[in-house]
Chain A
Amino acid sequence: MLDAYIPVLLFVLVAIGFAIFTLMVSSLVQSSRYNRVKLEPYECGIEPVTDARDRYSVRYYLIAMLFVIFDVETVFMFPWAVIMDELALFGLIEMLVFLFILVLGYVYAWRKGALEWA
Chain B
Amino acid sequence: MPAGFSALDFYYILPELLLTGGAMVVLLLAVLTPRNDNLLLGVSLGTLVASVLSVSLFSGLDVTAARGLLAVDSFAAFFKFIVLLSAGLTMLMSAPYLRVEGLKAGEYYFLILCATLGMMFMASGVDLITLFIGLETMAVSFYILAGFLKPNPRSNEAAVKYFLLGAFSLGVLLYGMSLVYGATGTTSLQGIAVALSGQSPSMVIVLAVVLIGAGMGFKIAAVPFHMWAPDVYEGAPTPVTAFLSVGSKAASFAMLLRIFVEALPAVAADWSALFWVLAVLTMTLGNIAALTQSNLKRMLAYSSIAHAGYLLIGVVVGTERGVASMLVYLGVYLFMQLGAFAIVVAMRRSDVVGDELKDLGGLFRRSPAAAFMMLLFMLSLGGIPPTAGFMGKVWLFGAAVDAGFVWLAVIAVANSAVSLYYYLRVVVFMWMHEDAQPGSPLVFGPAMTVALGIAILGTVVFGIYPQLLFEQAQAAAGTLEGFSATVALR
Contacts and interface: CB of A to CB of B under 8 A. Distances in A.
Nearest to A87: B2
B489 interface: no
In the complex, which range does the number of interface residues on chain B fall in?
Answer: 10 to 19
A50 B40 CA distance: 49
Interface stretch (A12-20, A25-33, A107-115): A107-115
Interface in B11-31: 24, 27-28, 30-31
Given A1-B203, A104-B24, A111 B31 contact: yes
A112 B31 contact: yes
B488 interface: no
A86 B3 CA distance: 11
B202 interface: yes
Interface string B195-219: 0000000110000000000000000
Given A1-B202, A107-B31, A101 B1 contact: no
Contacts of A78: none
A108 B1 contact: no
B30 A108 contact: yes
Interface in A75-118: 86-87, 90-91, 101, 104-105, 107-108, 111-112
Contacts of B2: 86-87, 90-91
Given A87-B2, A90-B1, A107 B202 contact: no
Contact of A104 (B1, B5, B28, B203): B28
B177 to A, nearest CB: 21
Contacts of A87: 2
A87 B28 CA distance: 31
A107 B1 contact: no
A90 B24 CA distance: 22
Contact of A107 (B5, B28, B203): B28
B28 A101 contact: no
A61 B360 CA distance: 43
Nearest to B27: A108
A105 B32 CA distance: 13
Interface in B23-45: 24, 27-28, 30-32
A104 B31 contact: no
A87 B30 CA distance: 35
Given A90-B1, A90-B2, A104 B202 contact: no
Contacts of B30: 108
A112 B2 CA distance: 38
Q: B-side binding surface: helix, strand, loop or mixed?
A: helix
Contact of B24 (A1, A91, A101, A111): A101
B121 to A, nearest CB: 16
A111 B27 CA distance: 11
A86 B31 CA distance: 39
Contacts of A107: 28, 31
Contacts of B32: 111
B31 A108 contact: yes
Nearest to A90: B1
Contacts of A90: 1-2, 5
Contacts of B31: 107-108, 111-112
Contacts of A101: 24
B203 A108 contact: no
A11 to B, nearest CB: 18
A105 B24 CA distance: 9
A87 B27 CA distance: 31
Nearest to B5: A90
A91 B2 CA distance: 8
Contacts of A112: 31
A64 B195 CA distance: 44
A108 B2 CA distance: 33
Contacts of A91: 2
Contacts of A86: 2
A15 B270 CA distance: 37
A116 to B, nearest CB: 14
B118 to A, nearest CB: 15
Nearest to B25: A104
A101 B114 CA distance: 13
Closest A-B pairs by Cβ, 7 of them: A111-B31, A90-B1, A104-B24, A108-B31, A108-B27, A112-B31, A90-B2
Interface of B: 1-2, 5, 24, 27-28, 30-32, 202-203
Interface of A: 1, 86-87, 90-91, 101, 104-105, 107-108, 111-112
Given A1-B203, A87-B2, A107-B28, 19 more contacts: A1-B202, A86-B2, A90-B1, A90-B2, A90-B5, A91-B2, A101-B24, A104-B24, A104-B27, A104-B28, A105-B27, A107-B31, A108-B27, A108-B28, A108-B30, A108-B31, A111-B31, A111-B32, A112-B31
